[in-house]
Amino acid sequence: MKLIYEKSQAGRRASAVPRHDELPRPGVPEELRRSQPPRLPEVPEFELVRHFTELSTRNFGVDTGFYPLGSCTMKYNPRINERLAALPGFARLHPLQEEDGAQGALELMWRLQEILAEVTGLDAVSLQPAAGSQGELTGLLLVRAYFAARGEAEQRRKVVIPDTAHGTNPASVTMAGYELTPVRTDARGNIDVDDLRGKVDEHTAALMLTNPSTLGLFDENIEEIEQIFHGAGALMYYDGANLNAVCGISRPGDMGFDIVHINLHKTFSQPHGGGGPGGGPVAVRGILEPFLPVPAIVRRDEGGFGLDFDRPQTIGKVRGFAGPFGVFVRSYAYIRMWGPRLREMSEAAVLNANYVLARLKGAYDLPFDRLCTHEFVLSAKTLKREHGCTALDVAKRLMDYGFHPPTIYFPLIVPEALMVEPTETEAKETLDAFCDAMLAIAREAAEEPELLKEAPHHRPVRRLDEVRAVKRPVVKYGFGEHPVTKGEAKAVVTEAPQGV
Amino acid sequence: MTHPFLALTESDREEMLRTIGVASVGELFRDVPEGVRFGRELDLEPALSEQEVYAHVAELAARNADASRELSFLGAGMYDHYVPAVVDAILQRGELLTAYTPYQPEMSQGVLQAIFEYQTAICELTGMDVSNASGYDGTSVAADACYIAKHATGRGKVVVTEATNPQVRQVVKTYAAGFGLETVEVPHRDGVTDPDEVERAAAGAAAVIFQQPNFFGCLEPAPELVARAADAGALPVAHVDLLSLGVLEAPARYGAAIALGEGQPAGNFPSFGGPHYGFLAAREEFIRRMPGRIVGETLDTEGERGYVLTLQTREQHIRREKATSNITTNQTLLALGGLVYLTWLGPQGLRELGETCLSLAAHAKQRLEERAGLEPVFADQPTFKEFAVRVGRNAREVVAAARERGVHPGYALGRDYEGMDDVLLVAVTERRTPEEIDRLADVLAEVAR
């Protein structure tokens, strides 16, 4: 398919911009004036619509089909949320509008904060972070500020992270200026408490934990872990990536966590948008509230809602204004359509995952044979050893059956990992069709492995040469000097985490 | 009653529980220790139907004074530019809206090609060699640039001009604390930055961040600022308005190392602050230090062109604590809105839009002087679409009084700058008309001074 730039013809255009030729136009000083026009596409409006519509047909979303991408919670995104976020009273509202002209927006945010505090079991919420990873960084900066206020900033330099953690956790630790202390996973898939004991002391600032973990397992020793950290004077951070498993069932605050980030685009249905936007609000215990980003959204004693910038101990701002408001509209509407029934959402997510697990565990390796939560991790290591078919091959073959593959090669401690998260919104028929495909693929691996190794067969492109893309990076269109776009290639696809 | 977003029937549940080998859904949670189980119902208001939630949330929306209900000259970083219907139409395609990051390229050629086209548009506008797939917003990308600069130069401080958006400065400061970077601000002189002061501050700095046009709407002597920063060995970082780049020079052409900014004016609604996209582009030498997703072109096994996420060894899922950033979910959908918008504009439209903003803003400056007797604060400086005027009394009071007359006249600069309590920052986009500008002038004539 052609690029939009390859469809461009000089002299065409889609826009009509208001002109005011009757008004004088001030000049721009010559040294600041544009010297060469940017080569943006020149196409009529209909060509534009056709181009992007064609691109959409070469893409796959939850609306297209089953998308069990583990750790990403690819659930149905209700359309009403789009209609609400597009209301002019929200979409055209300026973030610097005076408080009295933004009461509806501020009330919505305040209400969402209250809801998230209840769901997480914590005291105060900042909606500001733009995504989970920014929530993590915010949380760690809160940890820093807390210990700085106690005069322990120099002493507490270490953050403990299990080896199953998302890559964002260690990356955030470095960005926050902390040192990483890794901790192992035990034979049941819990944090190895014996390993942990030797690693937590007066130099520890915090634990970062996803619970249930990226293995889809609830840590059975969470109470003991809480005693170890709080006993050493450290704080506990909860990565809310897997909150969809436990709404109304177990709250991070009740587990002992002091800081939680929530991925609104996972649990609370903001559409993932091909890679964002997200939302990463942070909920904290009262002792950490003074350090939250500004502005805080508050209910005024005299009535109404407002933005409070007067927080002398704040860590500052991590993002513009008060956060990605359109995401809040969608998540607020979504939660209001569940109310206390959020528990049923999590129960159905866990039931669906356990059902798929039960149907697949005979055909694939199961590294930790327990009931799972909302997701589980299989391994294709026997398939690889006996038939030379990898997790990547299984993933590519699933595409031929019309499914988006699960997350693969993650978590890192499971070789040939396949991480499956069906979510609560899928019907049993869909789950069965997926299980049938996975079982068929396991048989194909034994009987006709080429079917896997050459997959996918029916997508707009075949396997792509990733090594070529890295060795000779072509990261923009080159117009007259664009490199050859057809030629000899072989698929060199990296067996690296895909989907987290 | 089953919930509209759930699909399982009672008999499905029974059959599934049998397959799993447990008696009840409750038993699925047996690994959750008794002590941390939540013993009550969530204290949330009862579930609403779609119709009810619409009525409730629409009522909240109706309580806001948005730009369809108030004649607005409010800018200061977010702007009321027109968003064409094609943007909404494309962004609501479910295949794009409900997909995630294109980890599996064979399933995601649509989003991958769109990001490649977006990267091309950003590189064309800024003159840079490489753009990422987007950052969170115009503030966080500035912090990202500091991380690039810290590692590229090994230096321990960053310089930000005081005429840079205050929110950008605040976010840079927050992140810099984690990065172990000191931040230094260079004051403005009569609305613009003095190159000599930049040069002095840039000694030993990893980066110098400035904004063009700056927060006051004034055009900075950008080539000179860049040259002085570079002379001191600091990376010059230009925070720019995409919609100015039809009439203003591309930052790479005057020597900036990194160009970045807030994408909202180009294709996103203000939406009370987000979600929007931040763009970040750099010269080729920084390609392996870039944060976030980058899409590259390659070939498939049949020799056909295709697109993949590339240079991933920079990223957190591979490099973990040594990654160039922790970013995962970015703002792809909003960046796609930017691409659709820039395609809609085309090069001609972009230039015309810039010219219209220049004309209308200059006209507004003149009318405020003629009809309301208000003088521009930085009369000697050329501006683009925004300018500061002195209103003779507290600007927040002027805003309140003007709003009672249905006009939001702009941003009270005293909210961020000492000594500017009587200064109003007025933004004029292509959506404003000469008649509306006269109305602003008349209202200000009544309420100012």
Tell me the per-residue pLDDT of B116-154, one tens digit each, with 9 for 90 and over.
999 999 999 999 999 999 999 999 999 999 999 999 999
SS3 string of B88-118?
Answer: HHHHCCHHHHCCCCCCCHHHEHHHHHHHHHH
DSSP H helices in A235-324: 252-255
Instruction: Give me B318's structure tokens.
Output: 């591979």
CATH number for the domain that contains residue B205: 3.40.640.10
**Of A283, A308, A336, which marks where a domain is finished?**
A336
Under 8 Å between Cβ of A34 and B248: yes
Mean pLDDT, chain B, integer: 97
Cα–Cα distances in angstroms (integers) from residue A452 to residues A384, A410, A430, A459, in the given order = 11, 20, 22, 14
For residue B61, is pLDDT > 80?
Answer: yes
Q: Are residues A181 and A326 in the same domain?
A: yes
Under 8 Å between Cβ of A325 and B272: yes
Residue A30, Cβ density class (10 Å: 0-12 exposed, 13-18 middle, ≥19 buried) = exposed
What is the mean predicted confidence (pLDDT) over B371-399? 97
What pLDDT does A33 receive? 98
Q: How far is A204 from chain B (nearest CA, A)?
A: 17
User: Does an H or E element contain A469, and which?
Assistant: helix A466-471
The answer to whether A471 contacts chain B (CB < 8 Å) is no
For residue A491, is pLDDT > 70?
Answer: no
Weakest-pLDDT range from A190-199, A261-270, A486-495: A486-495
What is the mean predicted confidence (pLDDT) over B286-297? 97
**Of B280, B312, B339, which marks where a domain is finished?**
B339
Paired strand residues for A485: none
Under 8 Å between Cβ of B297 and A465: no
CA–CA separation, B370 vs B373, rounded Å? 6
Q: Are residues A401 and A268 in the same domain?
A: no
CATH number for the domain that contains residue A258: 3.40.640.10
Cα–Cα distances in angstroms (integers) from residue B243 to residues A23, A343, B249, in the given order = 20, 47, 12
Q: Are residues B114 and B217 in the same domain?
A: yes
Q: Are residues B396 and B273 in the same domain?
A: no
The answer to whether B310 contacts chain A (CB < 8 Å) is yes
- Residue B377 sits in which domain range? 71-82+346-447
Weakest-pLDDT range from A36-40, A103-107, A207-211, B325-329: B325-329
Q: Are residues B254 and B354 in the same domain?
A: no
Beta pairing class for A124-126 and A282-284? antiparallel
Q: Is B65 within a domain?
A: no
Q: Residue B219 phi/psi, 5° resolution?
A: -85, 120
What pLDDT does B9 receive? 97
Give Cβ neighbours of residue B221 (< 8 Å, ≥ 6 apart).
B192, B193, B195
CA–CA separation, B133 vs B119, rounded Å? 7
User: How many other C-beta atoms are found inside a 10 Å radius of the C-beta of residue B26?
Assistant: 11
Tell me the per-residue pLDDT of A285-318, one tens digit each, with 9 for 90 and over.
999 999 999 999 999 999 999 999 999 999 999 9
Residues 365-404, chain B: which have Cβ within 8 Å of A? 382, 399-400, 403
Q: Are residues A357 and A282 in the same domain?
A: no
Instruction: Give me A293's structure tokens.
Output: 């980003």
Q: Are residues B376 and B330 in the same domain?
A: no
What is the mean predicted confidence (pLDDT) over B330-339? 98
- Residue A127 sits in which domain range? 82-336
Residues 385-444, chain A: which have Cβ within 8 Å of B? 395-396, 399, 404-405, 407, 410, 424-428, 430
Strand residues in A94-203 grouped as ranges (E): 124-126, 158-162, 179-183
Q: Are residues B324 and B356 in the same domain?
A: no
Nearest CA in chain A to B340: A48
Mean pLDDT, chain A, integer: 97
What pLDDT does B39 receive? 95
Q: Is B244 within a domain?
A: yes
Instruction: Give me A121's structure tokens.
Output: 């079991």
Q: Are residues B143 and B267 in the same domain?
A: yes
**Of A336, A368, A384, which marks where a domain is finished?**
A336
Q: Sign (positive/negative) of CA torsion B287, A3, A274, B301?
A: negative
Give the three-state DSSP class for A27.
Answer: coil
The answer to whether A261 contacts chain B (CB < 8 Å) is no
SS3 string of chain B?
Answer: CCCCCCCCCHHHHHHHHHHHCCCCCHHHHCCCCHHHCCCCCCCCCCCCCHHHHHHHHHHHHHCECCCCCCEECCCCCCCCCCCCHHHHHHHCCHHHHCCCCCCCHHHEHHHHHHHHHHHHHHHHHHCCCEECCCECCCCHHHHHHHHHHHHHHCCCEEEEECCCCHHHHHHHHHHHHHHCCEEEEECEECCEECHHHHHHHHCCCCEEEEEECCCCCECCCHHHHHHHHHHCCCEEEEEECHHHCCCECCHHHHCCCEEEEECCCCCCCCHHHCCCCEEEEECHHHHHHCCCCCEEEEEECCCEEEEEECCHHHCHHHHHHHCCCCCCCCCHHHHHHHHHHHHHHHHHHHHHHHHHHHHHHHHHHHHHHHHHCCCECCCCCCECCEEEEECCCCHHHHHHHHHHCCEECCEEHHHCCCCCCCEEEEECCCCCCHHHHHHHHHHHHHHCC
Q: Residue B407 phi/psi, 5° resolution?
A: -125, 125
Residue type, B417: Y
Q: Which one-letter DSSP state was computed for residue A486?
A: B
Radius of gyration of chain A (CA): 25
CATH number for the domain that contains residue A355: 3.90.1150.10
For residue A61, is pLDDT > 80?
Answer: yes
Q: Are residues A479 and A405 in the same domain?
A: yes
Instruction: Give me B355's structure tokens.
Output: 């010219």
User: How many other C-beta atoms are found inside a 10 Å radius of the C-beta of residue B397?
Assistant: 15
Q: Are residues B216 and B111 in the same domain?
A: yes
Q: How far is B48 from chain A (nearest CA, A)?
A: 5
Residue A130, Cβ density class (10 Å: 0-12 exposed, 13-18 middle, ≥19 buried) = buried
CA–CA separation, A206 vs A70, rounded Å? 26
CA–CA separation, A144 vs A160, rounded Å? 14
CA–CA separation, A73 vs A67, rounded Å? 9
What pLDDT does A494 receive? 77
Instruction: Give me A268's structure tokens.
Output: 């609370």
CA–CA separation, A249 vs B31, rounded Å? 12
Q: Are residues B413 and B308 in the same domain?
A: no
Give CA A188 to chain center in angstroms. Answer: 26
What is the mean predicted confidence (pLDDT) over A254-276? 98
- Which residues from chain B sit within 8 angstroms of residue A293, using beta carbons? 174
- Which residues from chain A sit within 8 angstroms of residue B43, using beta carbons? 118, 340
pLDDT band for position B262 (cuts 50, 70, 90): very high
Q: Are residues B361 and B279 in the same domain?
A: no
What is the mean predicted confidence (pLDDT) over B81-89? 98
Suggest the residue from A76, A87, A94 to mutate for an interface test with chain B (most B CBs closer than 10 A).
A94
Q: Is A255 within a domain?
A: yes
Radius of gyration of chain B (CA): 25
Residues 197-256, chain B: which have Cβ within 8 Å of A? 219, 222-223, 245-250, 253
The answer to whether A144 contacts chain B (CB < 8 Å) is yes
Contact at CB, A17 and B349, closer than 8 angstroms: yes
Q: How far is A447 from chain B (nearest CA, A)?
A: 23
Q: Is B47 within a domain?
A: no
Q: Are residues B217 and B144 in the same domain?
A: yes
Q: Is B398 within a domain?
A: yes
Q: Are residues A290 and A403 in the same domain?
A: no
Q: Are residues A131 and A268 in the same domain?
A: yes
For residue A383, is pLDDT > 70?
Answer: yes
Q: How far is B217 from chain A (nearest CA, A)?
A: 13
Say whether the peptide bond before residue A88 is cis (omega within 30 degrees of 0).
no
What pLDDT does A247 receive? 98
Suggest the residue from B272, B324, B344, B407 to mutate for an interface test with chain A (most A CBs closer than 10 A).
B272
CA–CA separation, B328 vs B330, rounded Å? 6
Tell me the per-residue pLDDT of B104-119, one tens digit each, with 9 for 90 and over.
999 999 999 999 999 9
CA–CA separation, A14 vs A39, rounded Å? 15
Nearest CA in chain A to B119: A476
- Which residues from chain B sit within 8 angstroms of residue A75, using beta carbons? 5
For residue A386, is pLDDT > 80?
Answer: yes
Closest among A254, A284, A296, A251 to A139, alpha carbons compared: A284
pLDDT band for position A489 (cuts 50, 70, 90): low
Q: Is B164 within a domain?
A: yes
To the nearest 10°, the Cα dihedral for A464, A468, A472, A473?
A: 30
- Which residues from chain B sit within 8 angstroms of residue A69, using beta carbons? 100, 103
Contact at CB, B5 and A78, closer than 8 angstroms: yes
Give CA B404 to chain center in angstroms. Answer: 30
pLDDT band for position A79 (cuts 50, 70, 90): very high
Q: Are residues A104 and A65 in the same domain?
A: no
**Of A268, A302, A336, which marks where a domain is finished?**
A336
For residue A492, is pLDDT > 80?
Answer: no
CA–CA separation, A36 vs B249, rounded Å? 8
Tell me the per-residue pLDDT of A24-41, one tens digit each, with 9 for 90 and over.
989 899 999 999 999 999
What pLDDT does B295 receive? 98
**Of B288, B319, B339, which marks where a domain is finished?**
B339
The answer to whether A77 contacts chain B (CB < 8 Å) is yes
Tell me the per-residue pLDDT of A97-130, one tens digit each, with 9 for 90 and over.
999 999 999 999 999 999 999 999 999 999 999 9
Cα–Cα distances in angstroms (integers) from residue B130 to residues B118, B125, B281, B318, in the given order = 11, 12, 5, 21
CATH number for the domain that contains residue B350: 3.90.1150.10
**Of B290, B310, B339, which marks where a domain is finished?**
B339
What pLDDT does B195 receive? 98
Residues 36-75, chain B: which have Cβ within 8 Å of A? 36-38, 41-50, 53-54, 56-70, 72, 74
The answer to whether A158 contacts chain B (CB < 8 Å) is no
The residue whose two tokens read 């896997």 is A452
Tell me the per-residue pLDDT of B10-60, one tens digit each, with 9 for 90 and over.
999 999 999 999 999 999 999 999 999 999 999 999 999 999 999 999 999
Under 8 Å between Cβ of A59 and B95: yes
Q: Are residues A381 and A246 in the same domain?
A: no
Give the three-state DSSP class for A278.
Answer: coil
Closest among B167, B264, B179, B271 to B209, alpha carbons compared: B167
pTM flag (> 0.90):
yes
Percentage of chain B surpassing pLDDT 70?
100
Contact at CB, A351 and B28, closer than 8 angstroms: yes
What is the mean predicted confidence (pLDDT) over A372-388? 98
Q: Is A16 within a domain?
A: no
Under 8 Å between Cβ of B37 and A61: no
Q: Is A424 within a domain?
A: yes
Under 8 Å between Cβ of A434 and A68: yes
Q: Are residues B204 and B239 in the same domain?
A: yes
Q: Are residues A131 and A217 in the same domain?
A: yes
User: Does an H or E element contain A193, and which?
Assistant: helix A193-197
Residue A11, Cβ density class (10 Å: 0-12 exposed, 13-18 middle, ≥19 buried) = exposed
Q: Is B292 within a domain?
A: yes
Residues 192-251, chain A: which have Cβ within 8 Å of B? 217-218, 220, 222-223, 246-251
Q: Are residues A310 and A235 in the same domain?
A: yes
CA–CA separation, B227 vs B198, rounded Å? 10
Closest among B171, B363, B218, B204 to A28, alpha carbons compared: B218
What is the mean predicted confidence (pLDDT) over A224-241? 98
CA–CA separation, A167 vs A500, rounded Å? 8
Q: Are residues B291 and B431 in the same domain?
A: no
Domains identified in chain A, total number: 2
Say whether the peptide bond before residue A295 is cis (omega within 30 degrees of 0).
yes
Q: Are residues A349 and A293 in the same domain?
A: no
Nearest to A19 among B15, B93, B352 (CB): B352
pLDDT band for position A499 (cuts 50, 70, 90): confident
Backbone angle region of B274, left / alpha / beta, with phi > 0 → left and psi within -120 to 50 → alpha: left
Q: Is B61 within a domain?
A: no
The answer to whether B434 contacts chain A (CB < 8 Å) is yes
Closest among B125, B145, B146, B172 to B267, alpha carbons compared: B125
The residue whose two tokens read 């979504």 is A334
Tell me the per-residue pLDDT of A405-415, one tens digit each, with 9 for 90 and over.
999 999 999 99
